[in-house]
Amino acid sequence: MGYSELETPLLIGLGVSSISESENYFVQNTKSFSEMKDSLDKKELSLVTGHKLSDEDSMRAESIQNLMCNEFIDLEKITYEELRQSLEEFVELGLLEANGHLLKLTERGRPYLRVIASCFDEYLGKNKVVQFSQSI
């Protein structure tokens, strides 16, 4: 998934596997070039999956966005103790640095950015399908 520093109520993803997002939903295009081409030839969308975001999903998405684009997490927005505990482990490892209610990514944490962000992804690992852009 790509990220944009610009806040917008609608983000339209173009191309294979791209993700479009609105305030309450996201949808993903097919990962197959030939399927996408067939859909476009028929003047149809090539959407294969989508999801209506819950309040928790929105909080998690905003936190991932802030971490990936601005390199911080606002603890005031994190209401789940289990998630806070996971983040504390990254602080203890020196990957995040506590500064008031903000956790800032450290230079040491930069190579682990996707790993840190993955703790916000409630759905990671729930489906057994191979994913793109996973951390090793």
Query: For the domain that residue 60 is a member of, what is the CATH number?
Result: 1.10.10.920
Taking all residues of the chain, what is their mean pLDDT, rounded to a whole number? 85
Whether 132 is covered by a domain: the verdict is: no
pLDDT value of position 123: 75
d(CA 110, CA 106): 6
Same domain, 61 and 72: yes
Same domain, 44 and 83: no
Task: Quote the percentage of the chain above a pLDDT of 90.
Answer: 52
Stronger pLDDT, 72 or 6, i.e. the higher one: 72
Tell me what the mean pLDDT of segment 45-56 comes to. Answer: 91
52, β-bridge pairs: 25
Same domain, 74 and 112: yes
Query: Smallest Cα–Cα separation from 66: which of 74, 77, 58?
Result: 74
Domain of 113, in residue numbers: 55-118
Angle, CA 63 vertex, CA 13 and CA 103 arms, to 5°: 140
The long-range contacts involving 77-85, CB below 8 angstroms and separated by at least 24 positions, are 80/56, 83/119, 83/120
Supply the pTM of this predicted model: 0.72
105 is written with which tokens?
């990514």
φ/ψ bin of 94: left (φ > 0), alpha (ψ from -120 to 50), beta (otherwise) = left
Whether 3 is covered by a domain: the verdict is: no
Torsion (CA) 19, 59, 69, 46 in degrees, nearest 10: 0
Same domain, 25 and 74: no
User: Which residue do the tokens 């520093």 mark?
Assistant: 5
Give the least confident one: 10-19, 108-117, 123-132.
123-132
